[in-house]
Amino acid sequence: IAGTEVVSILDIIKIIEHYLGKKANLKYEGKSDNLIGNITKVKKMLKFNPKINLKIGIKDLVKKQYFRK
């Protein structure tokens, strides 16, 4: 589920790199589009309200070793 922040794919990669302490080996060409999630329906139907921002969420994932080999 999305949050309220507008971020690019490269921004997400940079955050992951920061918490892993290493650089990603990217082969990317072109423009980095922004990811904009609209959570209006989810907020209304499920009474969902994001409580964790993107950086903290990624940090938690990295700590749980989802991105580690």
Examine the pLDDT at 51 and tell me if it is beyond 70. yes
Confidence of residue 14 (pLDDT cuts 50, 70, 90): very high
pLDDT of 41 reads: 86
Q: Rounded mean pLDDT of the chain?
A: 81
| Closest among 62, 60, 53 to 17, alpha carbons compared | 62
Question: Is the CB of residue 54 less than 8 Å from the CB of residue 60?
Answer: no
Read off the pTM: 0.68
Examine the pLDDT at 18 and tell me if it is beyond 90. yes
Dihedral of the CA atoms 7, 8, 14, 20 (nearest 10)? 70
**pLDDT digit string, tens, across residues 27-45:** 877 666 666 778 888 888 8
